[in-house]
Amino acid sequence: MTSRSDILAFVIKEYFRGEAKRAAFITGYSIARINAWSSGASTPQKATLQYFLQCAFVPEFRVIAEYARFDHTSPLQTQLKKILGEHTADPGIYAFYDSLGNLVYLGKATQLLAEMTSALNRPVTITFPKGVRQPPETRKEVVRFVSAYDVGAAEWGDYPKHVESLILRISKPLLNKNIGTLDKAYKIPKEA
């Protein structure tokens, strides 16, 4: 019979890259306690094992940076690397805000640094009133604050896409051209 310690060790190996440190960061338990459980030195409770499974399979929303100041006249990649820290190659959702803190663009990225850089360099495609003599040419000229979020991922679905689509539909940022798509909920058929 498989023990709860064996199951926990398997979950850590398969879903936390085999790293007790990563499992500790995500679950909030100490590395020492996790190592004791997975080695069999002590046995995790059933509820603890269920919590580990939830952490492994249910995407969690975490803030990477929120309303970080952005200066369009400073080197783009240098600023974004500082803002994103160790998350430059991570997937996630990012948001751009104008000087008043209004959301002007929202995007989903498989690699935050590359996608944010590309999005900031894209042209502004909205029409400005005729009185505006020198409208901004690129998004980076409009943006004064940026946010980035780790929204988790699941191997069987595109959770970040759904989060992005939901936010787009609610906020309708000026620089986004589409509002994404959301899958309809399905009903589980009742057994006859």
Q: In terms of residue numbers, what domain contains 35? A: 4-57
Q: Among 14, 42, 57, which residue terminates a domain? A: 57
pLDDT in tens, the chain (192 residues): 789 999 999 999 998 889 999 899 888 999 999 999 999 999 999 999 999 988 887 767 788 999 999 999 999 999 999 999 999 988 889 999 999 999 999 999 989 999 999 999 999 988 889 899 899 999 999 999 999 998 765 555 566 777 777 777 777 788 877 766 666 655 566 765
What does pTM read for this prediction? 0.68
Same domain, 70 and 149: yes
Same domain, 119 and 150: yes
Cα separation, 75 vs 98, in Å, equals: 18
Is-contact 84 148, C-beta < 8 A? Answer: yes
Same domain, 149 and 70: yes
Cα separation, 99 vs 164, in Å, equals: 22
Q: Among 12, 36, 57, which residue terminates a domain? A: 57
